[in-house]
Each structure stands twice: as structure tokens, then as C-alpha cells.
Chains A and B, each alone.
Chain A
Amino acid sequence: MADAVRGFAIIAGAWVRSALSYRTSFAIGTGVQFVITFLDFAAIIIMFSHIDAFGGFSIAQIALLYAMSGFALGAADMLVGNSESLGRRIRDGSFDQMLVRPVPALAQVAADRFAIRRIGRIAQSGGVLIWAVWAAPIDWSVARVVVLVGAMACGSVIFCAVFVMGGAFQVFAGDAAEVSNAFTYGGNTLTQYPLTIYPNELVKGVTFIVPLAFVNWYPGLYVLGMDDPFGLPGWLRFASPVAALAFVAVAAAFWRTAVRHYRSTGS
């Protein structure tokens, strides 16, 4: 594990230094990320020019959900988003090159071509979060702060797991890589809105199968001091760390299986 973190830091660091040395390019790239990711919130703003509540939530409350989800996706995209390149690396032989180095494979796949410009999404979500926290009527307490920060961390871990599984999937179905977009960016879009607008099956799906609801919905309900509209047990609001850990274990197992499969078939 220490090997992985160290290797990741060294390789990613080189790419960050390289990106920062081209200041204008970095600024434009980050700016573009900021604008693109803001489009979703611009749509929400326009929606609220016609309504006062969406799914029973005010714009500030939705902004909180939006920001928590966006932050988590942004952080995960920056850290392990490059695992989506695994299929291409296998095809062009650079994955073999990685297997010959004394750093765990995932760390290398994630760190190579590390894109610091993805911080644009994180910054944009951060901005919306600050506004949401100011504008929404939140009854602050230490517990609520802990849950909010904890959820942002756990949410990032959950999305990281989704990215890693998407990468691992490419060992088996390289050309169908885009499927993972449905879960990463799709998952982000889905959780931007209160889950009250979705049918029960979908809510159960993002609670028990792909635990995206733990990125922002359940902890968000607690921070906003709202009851669960679906009447699910209250302890779910604090279950983000458990969900994240369980899901990461699944992702790690899937990744290991995928690498083992590659090393056994050499496709």
C-alpha cells in the first residue's frame, strides 16, 4: 500500500509539475472544466426560475446535494479517473511496461497523465457548496460538520471505486469502455437531484447495489435536518463510511481479478 501511494505521488507529481509549467494551457484547461461542470448547475438555476421547490427541495438544498456529488466525482476523477485508459494501455503495450516497474499497477495507471486541470470541477463544486451552506437553513452542529466533511470524503471514495471498476471492466470488454460513463457521470447527474423524483426501484438500486445514495443523499438529509421521504431507517445517514468501505472492497477485488485475468491470458 505504501508502495502504491509513494509511486502514485512520484508519477502524478511529475505530471502536475509538467502541467503547471505551461501556465496558460493549465489555466484554460481548468477554466474549461469549471465552465463545463457549471452547466449542470446553470440548468438548475434556470429550472428554479419557474419553480420554488423541486422534489420537495429548495434550490439551496439541491445546491448542497449537487455540490457534494460534484466534489466527490471531481476528486475521484482527478485521483483515479485515468483508470479509464486501461483498455488503451493494454492495446498499445504500455500496461506491460507498467507491470515491469516496482509500483503496483493501479497506482501507475491512475497516476500516469495525471490531470490536475480536473481540479476545475472540484473548485466549481466547492463554490456551489459555499453558497449552499450559506443560503440553506442549516442547524449547524459539530456532528453535522463531521457528517458533511465525512460524506465528501466517503463520496470521493465511492466514486473512486466506480472508476476503478470501470477500468477493470476494460480488461474484459475493452471496446465497451464507455459503459462506465453511465455510472460515473450518470451517477453524478442522478445524485444531483433529490432521490424523491425517482421511482423506488432506482432508489433501492443506488442504495444497495451501487451505493451512490451515500455520496450525498443520506448524509445530506442529516445535514439539512430533513426526514427521509422514503421512510428508511435513520442510521443510513451515518452509514457512508460503511458503504464506502464495502464498495471499495468490491472494487479492489474486481480490479485484482481483472489484472490476474490479463496476466493469465496476455490478451
Chain B
Amino acid sequence: MSAIIEVDDLRRTFVVRRRRSRMRRERHEVHAVDGVSFDIGTGEAVGYIGPNGAGKSTTVKMLTGILVPTSGRLRVAGLDPSARRTELARHIGVVFGQRTGLWWDLPLRDSYELLGRIYRVPRRTYEANLERFVDLLDLGPLLDQPVRQLSLGQRMRGDIVAALLHDPRILYLDEPTIGLDVVSKAKLRQFLRELNGERGTTILLTTHDLVDIEQVCRRVMVIDHGRLVFDGGFDELHRLGDARRTVVVDLAAPADPLTVPGATVSRVDGSRQWLTLPAGATAAPVVAALGARDDLIDLSIQEPAIEDVITALYTR
């Protein structure tokens, strides 16, 4: 498996000028990306996570050619993104979570036609892809609506199709599930899994949501303050990080700390108890054991926050 993305000691520094007072202006450097190295092989599905401001978006901007690195070596599909931006553009698809790549006032279908021609997609490929993706992502009835009338979830699905019409070798997704409801998230994750599995599209998924990674990627890279602090499998991450999932249990009345196999009670507050279990483990037996109790009112499962995972990584 050859590397389609090669990153070697990548750095990106910003100079930030802030006004300290009316007269003085402070100038200091921000190392958004501070010596990051990794290789991504063709067909891999990689998650890229980190707290806000860690350098995720900056890395992706450099990989896609938007931003020029301060130093370091960068090759995507054999090309230097900052030097050969338009050439590389044919091989990549990008979905920005916060803003759309579609044309606001035009019907969805028109946006796709336009992109098909811009990317010189052969007619038959275009039609086949359009039909397949529209079908998989339930966009059929929306094709004739102007993009501005779509909901966030619909627009996101529309953006993903737009990014894939030209059969890119690499798909970058920047926070694609933000603001989506549970059902949409699940559908999206499944779609990405299939895309990676059947078409072999290399995927780099930037997200805050660890379940995104768990469902779609086999490899995780964690970036914090511009540095890569973890690069490996999902299970390994949780083992090393020792992050834990939390099951919040509401009982009919205050009780002694519960004994449930596979989980430990971390906190008790009246009739509510917090049970934790290893993040890589399935919650099913715990839920089943709790469900068997007749004093159970309600329960919910909380995933470990990314910050907790990283903190846990540091304290190992």
C-alpha cells in the first residue's frame, strides 16, 4: 500500500498582531502546526482529531493547497499542493463543514452540472455517480431546490455528493456531522464506510466527535497544540488514553452504589449514579444488566470528550 499523502516535519507559523494598548502593538508567533509527520496510504480512512485551535483545519488547508506551509515537505498524490494546486484539485474532494461548496441561489442539480463540467467528468461517469450518490444519500426530491432552501443536514449531504462527482482519490471532510441529528449522522457514517470500503477512496476526517471516528476510520491521529500526540488504531487510543464512557443512571430512589459487571461507579448523587466503562468497550452488557432492574427510570450514555482523551493520553 503506497502512501498517497506524505507529510514530513510540516510547520505552519502565523504572526499575530494584537493591540495591547492604544499605542503598543504586540507581535507574537503562533505555531499552528509544529512539526507534524505522517503518511497516509491509498484507501485508508483516517480520523484527525484535536481540541479547537489544535491545528486540524490548518493541516487540511495545507494538504489541499489553500495554505502554503512555513516549512516541511508535503506530497499529496505525488504533487506539492502549494505549487500545483489546480492540478491536485482534480484528485481531491473537500467538504467544509461550516460553509457550502454549492452555489447558493442555484438549484442543487445546476450546481452538480456545473461541477461536472468544471472537473471535466465524462458524461457517463457523471450520470452514474450522480444517480448512485443521490440515491444513497436520499437527495432525489431535493435536486430541483435552490441550495439556500435546504436544511443543514440536506446541504451537508449535497456537499458530499458535490465533492465526489469527479471520483476524487482523496476525500477531506472538515467537521461534517456538526449540527446534524442522530439519524443523519448515522446515515452519513455508513455512507463514508461504504465509500472507503467499495471505492477505496482515501478519507481524512476531521472532527470533534469521537463516534464519527469510531464508525468510519480504522486509524486515528490526535493533534494538540500543533503536534501529533497519537497516531494509531482506535482501540489503542482508548487503551492508552484510558478514556471512559459514562452511563448516567436515574433510579426510582437513592440506592447504594450499583454493582454492574464491566462498569465502575464513579459518582452517586441521590437517585442518580454515574457508571464508567472503558471507551473501547461496548455498553450493551451494562445496559442489559441495568435494564433488568425494576427500579430503573432512565439511562443515557455519554462519550468521552476529546479533551478527556487527550488529557488521559498525557497522563499515561
Contacts and interface: CB of A to CB of B under 8 A. Distances in A.
Contact of B65 (A7, A99, A264): A99
A11 B58 CA distance: 28
Given A14-B103, A14-B106, A264-B67, 6 more contacts: A18-B105, A99-B85, A100-B92, A263-B67, A264-B68, A266-B67
A100 B82 contact: no
Interface residues of A, number: 23
Contacts of B67: 263-264, 266
A200 B86 CA distance: 46
A41 to B, nearest CB: 33
A246 to B, nearest CB: 27
A102 B96 contact: no
14 contacts: A10-B118, A11-B118, A97-B96, A97-B100, A97-B101, A100-B64, A100-B65, A100-B92, A101-B86, A101-B119, A102-B87, A103-B89, A266-B61, A266-B67
Best-surrounded residue of B14, B86, B87 (most CB of chain A within 10 A): B86
A266 B90 contact: no
Interface in A65-117: 92-94, 96-97, 99-104, 112
B96 A96 contact: yes
Nearest to B101: A97
Among A93, A100, A101, A103: residue with most chain B CB under 10 A? A100
A14 B110 contact: yes
A102 B66 contact: no
Contacts of A10: 114, 117-118
Nearest to A14: B114
B66 A96 contact: yes
Closest A-B pairs by Cβ, 4 of them = A102-B89, A93-B99, A100-B94, A99-B66
B98 interface: yes
Contacts of A112: 103
A265 interface: yes
Contacts of A265: 14-15
Given A3-B86, A101-B118, A102-B87, A92 B66 contact: no
B127 to A, nearest CB: 18
Interface string A120-149: 000000000000000000000000000000
Contacts of A102: 86-87, 89-90, 118-119
Contact of A100 (B14, B68, B89): B89
A30 B122 CA distance: 36
B248 to A, nearest CB: 37
Given A102-B89, A102-B90, A266-B14, A97 B114 contact: no
Interface in B64-89: 64-68, 82, 85-87, 89
B114 A266 contact: no
Max count, chain B CB within 10 A of own CB: residue among A94, A101, A112, A264: A101
Contacts of B92: 100
B161 to A, nearest CB: 15
B118 A100 contact: no
A11 B114 CA distance: 7
Contact of A263 (B82, B96, B98, B106): B82
A11 B116 CA distance: 11
Contacts of B114: 10-11, 14
Contacts of B89: 100-103
B216 to A, nearest CB: 21
Interface in A16-52: 18
Interface in B93-115: 94, 96, 98-101, 103, 105-106, 110, 113-114
A7 to B, nearest CB: 6
Contact of B118 (A99, A103, A260, A266): A103
B66 A100 contact: yes
A94 B99 contact: yes
Nearest to B64: A100
Interface string B9-46: 00000110000000000000000000000000000000
A257 to B, nearest CB: 13
Interface in A185-233: none
Nearest to B104: A94
Contacts of B99: 92-94, 96-97
- Specify which of A96, A99, A102, A264 lies most central, judged by the most chain B CB atoms within 10 Å of its CB: A102
Contacts of A3: 86
Nearest to B172: A100
Contacts of A94: 99
A103 B15 CA distance: 29
A89 B92 CA distance: 22
A8 to B, nearest CB: 11
B110 A18 contact: yes
B86 A104 contact: yes
Contacts of A103: 86, 89, 118
Contacts of A99: 64-66, 85
Contacts of B85: 99
Interface in A221-255: none
Nearest to B91: A102
Contacts of B82: 263
Contacts of B119: 101-102
A7 B98 CA distance: 25
